[in-house]
Amino acid sequence: RCGIRIYTSGDVEAVNGTDVRLKCTFQSSATINPDLVIISWTFRPLKGGREESVSLCLFHYQQKAYPPTEGIFRKKIHWAGDVMGGDASIRIQEVKFIYNGTYICQVKNPPDVHGPVGQIQLRVVLSGKERGFLTTCLGKLFSHLILARVFRVCWKVNLCLKPLEDSNKFSQSLLFPGHSLCSPALWTDPPISAK
C-alpha cells in the first residue's frame, strides 16, 4: 500500500449559527512524523467563484496550527484533530450561509506526499425558529400583495363605474322615487300607485 488515504464525512449539514466539525482522517504508508506532517484546508464557495484557501494551513513540522487571520473565517476555524491519531479535522464556529460550499482537506506526510484529497460538502440550513419566522413573514407579505392588488382593481373598477352609477341613480330616481341604487327594492316589483 502506498500513498496517503483520506477519509471524510462527505456531506455535512449544520444549522445556521451553530458549530460544526468537519471530519478528515488519514492513513499514511510512512510512519507519521508530527514535525513534518502538513495539513491544509481549502474552500470552494457553493455558488461558483474561485477556490480560496481557508487559511488554515496546519504545518505540523512545529506541531502548530495557523488559523486564518483575515477574511470570512477569521476567528471561526479551529484545529480539532490529532495528527498522531491520523485525524486532520477542523471545527467551524457559528456557521453562516456564506460558508456553504466544498471544503478540501489535504495531508502530506513526507516522503508520503501523493494521494487524493478529501472533500466535504457543507450545507448551512435555517433553524426551526428561523424557518417559522421566514414562513410567517413570507405569508404576510404574500397576503399584503394580494390585498393591495384586490384594492387596486376595485379602485379602478369603482372609478370606471362612477359615471355610470351617477347616471343610473338619475334614471332610477325617475322610475322608482324613494329607492337608492343599492336598495333591495331594485329587485322587487315597483310600487303600485293608488288610483
Give the number of domains in the chain.
2
- Three-state DSSP class for residue 144: helix
Is the residue at 190 inside a domain?
no
- Domain contains 194: no
Q: Say whether both 160 and 109 belong to one domain.
A: no
Verify that 19 and 40 share a domain, yes or no: yes
The enclosing domain of 43 has a CATH number of 2.60.40.10
88-130 confidence digits (pLDDT tens): 999 999 999 999 999 999 999 999 988 899 999 999 999 866 5
Helix then strand then coil, % of the chain, to nearest 5: 30, 30, 40
Of the three residues 85, 102, 125, the one that is the final residue of a domain is 125
Lowest mean pLDDT among 16-30, 126-140, 170-184: 170-184
* Domain interval for residue 92: 5-125
Residue type, 23: K
Q: Is residue 119 part of a domain?
A: yes
Average pLDDT for the chain: 76
Last-in-domain residue among 88, 104, 125: 125
**pTM exceeds 0.85 for this model:** no
Q: Is residue 103, in this structure, part of any structural domain at all?
A: yes
CA distances from 102 to 34, 42, 44, 46, 157 (A): 26, 8, 5, 7, 55
The predicted model gives 165-190 an average pLDDT of 53
Residue 111 lies in a domain: yes
47 compared with 118, residue with greater pLDDT: 118
